[in-house]
């Protein structure tokens, strides 16, 4: 694995090890199982696993499943699959919910120390009392309950004596702190809900800000890496670790989120796309989810290389999605076999080629990687070419087929357009050509030159295929920068309004016969088109479905 890029978190770890502050490194990836992973999560995964790996440390996969309502085993399984597919093996596999008893005991400890109290204020009242950035907060009338009363009420909260929202447990810190996170944050709430892991064992659940530092400390995590929106919570994180008297003292370190042009990157919005049926599931090839990218055909190697290239910094910039495309082209260049596929077929009859005759031609599989060898492709009197590769009345500098012009068929012969047939509506439906046997590819023919080379597929053995071409899901340059800053009903509308109605185009064409039994997830380069992946969900025995991963850099527009 490459670890050559320098980043500030790496420097912190080096200093910690050199100064003796730490003698080991443990990181964790802590997803909430309320959706599928997206490429932003992939960044967090790569950072956490790579850093631990570099310093012979460990990385845990920990499900941060403290919210019973939004979580699901489907998500747990999908997340595990995605982390593995990205190329990582976790050390410990943990669930925050396995720590509920310990967290409860820590809450009791805080009450006993006079550092937590049960509050009867409603959620709205708590918000009102909290104050603003300019004004200090107001203390709750319940703030000075006795330890005994708090212990009793918290116990009864746990036993289910109160309804949702009737009471909460709050940390007793400082209602006039300039940091609003320290104004007696809620640390436990009541929720009479069945939890995916603990069932109905609990009806009180710890809040993220209380649970997360405890989870880290319980696992002896040394460097707790998260994104910058948690920066203001760091003092609370440290307060929880200290006041709960945890043996381990993890350090929270924040880095800037990854954002990508034209991509929705919030789980909430991705879920909305799925739930409203606007996409073909979480793994729709247009989704920036890890499973969507996988189904589209992006490779784990390319995603890791991309994420590493974006670096680790405090700022959260927007990265151009073309950078990811660059890395997948780099990865597939030498690996993917090159073959021919026609996405908008037009029949060509080679009138001087003997009827009924089929010959096999040699074709290199990847000219940049000769070790991949040679394939054999049939050639006969009837072939398909691309509709775009013929024009009745071409402009200047059009070097492909038009009446009287000669082109090279890749791996085959020169053919010359002699005639064409139109249907009643004036569409060209068939081209008649002659071929020159002297010009066979590989024979060293130098008699004359042609300016155009086009691809083709022999008609009688051609395998029908569906090609799915994609554009970004969002049509504008609008890029999701930070979900939490715009949760108004208004932006909700804008987000769905931005959906690109042309994000999926389905074409029916043909590919070479040697692709007949191609396996799902195989990556192929179609000559002049780009890199494609065999769709694992929609390919059938009768029709292969190819997802366009990326076009070739200099290819003509599909």
Q: Among the options 257, 286, 381, 528, which is catalytic?
A: 257
In the shown chain, the binding pattern of residues 261 to 280 toward ligand ATP, with x for contact by CB under 6 A and - for none, equals ----xxxx------------
Residue (257 or 296) nearer to ligand ATP, CB: 257
State the catalytic residue, choosing from 167, 183, 234, 267: 267
Using CB under 6 A as the binding rule, whether residue 32 contacts ligand ATP is answered as yes
Any contact of residue 297 with ligand ATP (CB under 6 A)?
A: no
Q: Which residues of 472-489 are buried (b: 16+ CB within 10 A; e: fewer)?
A: bbbeeeebbeebeeeeee
Tell me how far, at minimum, the Cβ of 508 lies from ligand ATP, in Å: 36
Residue 267 appears among annotated catalytic residues: yes
Task: Report the residue number, 232 or 245, with the smaller CB distance to ligand ATP.
Answer: 232
Nearest distance, CB of residue 48 and ligand ATP, angstroms:
8
Q: Which of 44, 67, 252, 525 touches ligand ATP (CB under 6 A)?
A: 44
Binding flags for ligand ATP, 471-490, as an x/- string (CB under 6 A): ------------x-------
Instruction: Note whether 310 binds ligand ATP by CB under 6 A.
Output: no
Token digits of residue 228: 């910058």
**Interface segment toward ligand ATP; rule CB under 6 A; list 26-34, 278-286, 324-332, 391-399:** 26-34
Provide the 10 A C-beta neighbour count for residue 67: 20
Tokens of residue 246, six digits: 């945890």
CB of 216 to ligand ATP, least distance (A): 11
Give least dist CB 280 to ligand ATP, A: 20
Dihedral angle sign, alpha carbons of residues 98, 101, 105, 108: positive
DSSP structure string for 310-374: H---SS--EE-HHHHHHHHHHHHTTTSPEE-EESSEEEEEETTSPTT--EEEEEES-TT-GGG-E
Residues 200-229 that bind ligand ATP (CB under 6 A): 226-227
Site for ligand ATP in 483-522 (CB under 6 A): 483
Which tokens hold the place of 498? 């931005």
Q: Which stretch binds ligand ATP (CB under 6 A): 29-37, 365-373, 448-456, 494-502?
A: 29-37
Containing 188, the helix (H) or strand (E) segment is: strand 186-190
Task: Write down the least CB distance from residue 255 to ligand ATP, Å.
Answer: 7
Known catalytic membership, residue 231: no
The reply to whether 70 belongs to the active site is no
Is 30 an interacting residue with respect to ligand ATP (CB under 6 A)?
Answer: yes
Residue 339 contacts ligand ATP per CB under 6 A:
no
- Six token digits for residue 56: 């012979």
Q: How far is CA 95 from the centre of its chain?
A: 23
Give residue 64's Cα distance to chain centre: 20
Annotated binding site: 32-34, 38-44, 64, 208, 227, 257-258, 265-267
Q: Binding site residues for ATP, as ranges?
A: 32-34, 38-44, 227, 257-258, 265-267
Write a three-state SS string for 105-161: HHHHHHHHCCCEEEECCCHHHHHHHCCCCCCCCCCCCCCCCCHHHHHHHHHHHHHCC
Q: Tokens 């029949």 — which residue?
A: 347
Encoding tokens for residue 272? 């909305």
What gap in Å lies between CA 538 and CA 293, rounded to an integer? Answer: 16
Q: Determine contact, residues 414/435, Cβ cutoff 8 Å.
A: yes
Contacts with ligand ATP: how many residues (CB under 6 A)?
Answer: 17
Binding piece for ligand ATP, criterion CB under 6 A, among 16-24, 36-44, 339-347, 450-458: 36-44
Please name which of 404, 378, 52 lies closest in space to residue 219, comparing C-alpha atoms: 52
For ligand ATP, the nearest residue by Cβ is 40
Which residues form the catalytic set?
Answer: 32, 257, 267
Contact set with ligand ATP (CB under 6 A): 30-32, 38, 40-41, 43-44, 226-227, 257-258, 265-268, 483
């Amino acid at each position: 694995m490459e670890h050559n890029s320098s980043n500030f978190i790496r420097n912190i770890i080096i200093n910690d090890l050199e100064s003796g502050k730490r003698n080991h490194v443990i990181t964790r990836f802590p997803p909430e199982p309320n959706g599928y992973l997206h490429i932003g999560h992939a960044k967090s995964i790569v950072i956490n696993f790579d850093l631990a790996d570099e310093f012979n440390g460990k990385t845990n996969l920990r499900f941060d499943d403290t919210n019973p309502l939004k979580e699901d085993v489907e998500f747990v399984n999908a997340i595990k699959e995605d982390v593995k597919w990205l190329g990582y093996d976790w050390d410990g596999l943990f669930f925050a919910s396995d720590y509920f008893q310990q967290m409860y005991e820590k809450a009791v400890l805080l009450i006993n120390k006079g550092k937590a109290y049960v509050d009867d204020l409603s959620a709205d009242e708590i918000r009102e009392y909290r104050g603003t950035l300019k004004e200090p907060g107001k203390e709750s009338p319940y703030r000075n309950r006795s330890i005994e009363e708090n212990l009793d009420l918290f116990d009864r909260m746990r036993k289910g004596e109160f309804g949702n929202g009737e009471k909460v447990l709050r940390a007793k810190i400082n209602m006039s702190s300039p940091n609003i996170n320290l104004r007696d944050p809620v640390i436990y709430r009541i929720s009479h809900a069945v939890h995916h892991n603990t069932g109905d064992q609990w009806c009180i659940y710890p809040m993220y800000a209380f649970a997360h530092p405890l989870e880290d400390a319980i696992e002896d995590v040394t460097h707790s890496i998260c994104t910058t929106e948690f920066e203001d919570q760091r003092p609370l994180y440290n307060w929880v670790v200290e006041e709960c008297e945890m043996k381990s003292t993890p350090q929270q370190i924040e880095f800037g989120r990854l954002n990508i042009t034209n991509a929705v990157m919030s789980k909430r919005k991705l879920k909305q796309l799925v739930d409203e049926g606007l996409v073909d599931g979480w793994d729709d090839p247009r989704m920036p989810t890890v499973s969507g990218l996988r189904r589209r055909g992006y490779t784990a190697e390319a995603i890791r290389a991309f994420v590493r290239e974006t670096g680790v910094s405090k700022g959260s910039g927007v990265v151009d999605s073309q950078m990811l495309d660059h890395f997948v082209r780099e990865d597939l260049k030498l690996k993917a076999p090159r073959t021919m596929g026609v996405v908008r077929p037009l029949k060509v009859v080679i009138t001087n080629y003997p009827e009924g005759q089929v010959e096999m031609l040699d074709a290199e599989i990847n000219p940049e990687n000769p070790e991949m060898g040679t394939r054999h492709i049939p050639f006969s009197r009837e072939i398909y070419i691309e509709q775009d590769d013929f024009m009745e009345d071409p402009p200047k500098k059009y070097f492909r087929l038009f009446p009287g012009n000669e082109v090279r068929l890749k791996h085959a012969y020169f053919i010359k357009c002699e005639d064409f047939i139109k249907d009643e509506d004036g569409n060209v439906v068939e081209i008649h050509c002659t071929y020159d046997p002297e010009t066979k590819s590989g024979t060293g023919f130098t008699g004359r030159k042609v300016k155009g080379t086009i691809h083709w597929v022999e008609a009688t053995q051609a395998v029908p295929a569906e090609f799915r071409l994609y554009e970004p899901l969002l049509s504008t340059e609008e890029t999701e920068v930070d979900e939490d800053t715009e949760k108004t009903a208004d932006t909700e509308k804008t987000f769905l309004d931005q959906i690109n109605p042309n994000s999926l185009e389905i074409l029916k064409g043909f590919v070479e016969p040697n692709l007949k039994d191609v396996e799902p997830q195989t990556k192929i380069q179609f000559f002049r088109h780009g890199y494609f992946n065999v769709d694992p969900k929609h390919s059938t025995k009768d029709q292969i479905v190819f997802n366009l991963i990326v076009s070739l850099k200099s290819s003509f527009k599909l």
